[in-house]
Amino acid sequence: MKKLALLILGVLLGMLLCYLYLKPDNMAEEPEIIKPKGVITSKEAKTLDAAFNSRHELISDSIVKRPDNRSSWYSLEDMRNYLDYAENQAKELGYTMDGVRIYLGAHANEGDQVGYTTMFLIPTGTKNLEEGSSSPLPTLKGSGDISEGDGLNNGENGEPPSANYPQ
């Protein structure tokens, strides 16, 4: 009888330990949401957008000769997939990716029509030090573009392309 009681106690303890270490997913803690630096309000976004109007008009009126594109839209899925892809590629190229830089560009001209402005992302990071480096201090180089890394473009234009914030 004593052995049976110890066996039952052992099984119960094992179940309790399994429950504590292997919690069901619905009981897992939610990840902490951290507000990134640089977050702006919609009012600040409208101010930035309005301040760009004169530059946009200059480009549209004198260069593109039509209302030029003012925004690019990327799906969350594309952004997450790109960040994972770029981070993996950076690692393969010997870099530690730490961000992305957003550049303004322009699509190629089509016939006599000047291409729309576009925005594209390029991964940034620092070159990893070789293991066993003789340098006693880490390099103090800042984060630069990973020029061998693939960028992300082909976000969708604004609707219409010249639409201001918010759309």
Q: Which residue has the higher pLDDT, 125 or 113?
A: 125
pLDDT tens for each residue of 12-43? 667 666 666 766 655 667 888 888 888 999 99
Euclidean distance between CA atoms 83 and 121, whole angstroms: 10
DSSP string, 29-98: PPPPP-PPTT---HHHHHHHHHHTHHHHHHHIIIIISSPPP--EE--HHHHHHHHHHHHHHHHHTTEEEE
- Answer with the residue of higher pLDDT: 4 or 64: 64
Least confident of 2-11, 43-52, 75-84: 2-11
Sign of the alpha-carbon dihedral angle for 59, 62, 67, 68: negative
User: Do 163 and 69 form a contact (C-beta atoms < 8 A)?
Assistant: no
pLDDT at 57 over 70: yes
pLDDT band at 140 (very low <50, low <70, confident <90, very high): very low
pLDDT digits (tens, 9 = 90+) for 88-103: 999 999 999 999 999 9
Contacts of 129-135 spanning 24+ positions with Cβ under 8 A: none
Does the pTM surpass 0.75? The reply is no
Phi, psi of 91 (to 5 degrees): -60, -45
Q: Is 82 left (phi over 0), alpha (psi -120 to 50) or beta?
A: alpha
Place of tokens 């940034």: 124
